[in-house]
């Protein structure tokens, strides 16, 4: 699935069925539905990735990392540091 649907809304924001979210370009496993939670942003929110190498990231600005697929480099959005469900947890 692609996380950044800027036109017409994000179809997976309110999707909470069990499963694995994969890269829309290469099919690599990115996030589990177990790590997904409801958030006020217009995009799906996750606390962690499926694998340590599911995503690649670099600092875009303080507190925000640019995130892409760890296998093919497809852009996925951001990781917001210290903005997860628990103290010190990130939000993807």
Mean of the per-residue pLDDT values of the chain: 80
CA distance readout (Å), 35 to 8, 67, 85, 89? 25, 17, 10, 12
Please state the rounded mean pLDDT for residues 47-53: 92
Confidence of residue 52 (pLDDT cuts 50, 70, 90): very high
Higher pLDDT, 21 or 13: 21
Reduced to 3 states, what is the DSSP secondary structure of residue 1? coil
* Residue 18 DSSP code: S
Contact 26/74 with Cβ under 8 angstroms? yes
- For the segment 15-31, the average pLDDT, to the nearest whole number, is 83
Residue 77, CA distances (Å) to 1, 6, 18, 44 in order: 12, 12, 22, 11
Phi/psi zone of residue 47: left (φ > 0), alpha (ψ -120 to 50 degrees), beta? alpha
């Amino acid at each position: 699935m692609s996380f950044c649907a800027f036109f017409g809304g994000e179809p997976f924001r309110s999707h909470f069925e069990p499963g694995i979210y994969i890269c829309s370009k290469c099919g690599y496993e990115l996030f589990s539905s177990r790590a997904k939670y409801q958030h006020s942003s217009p995009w799906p929110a996750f606390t962690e990735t499926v694998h340590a190498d599911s995503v690649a990231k670099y600092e875009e600005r303080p507190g925000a990392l640019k995130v892409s697929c760890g296998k093919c480099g497809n852009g996925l959005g951001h990781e917001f540091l210290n903005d997860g469900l628990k103290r010190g947890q990130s939000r993807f």
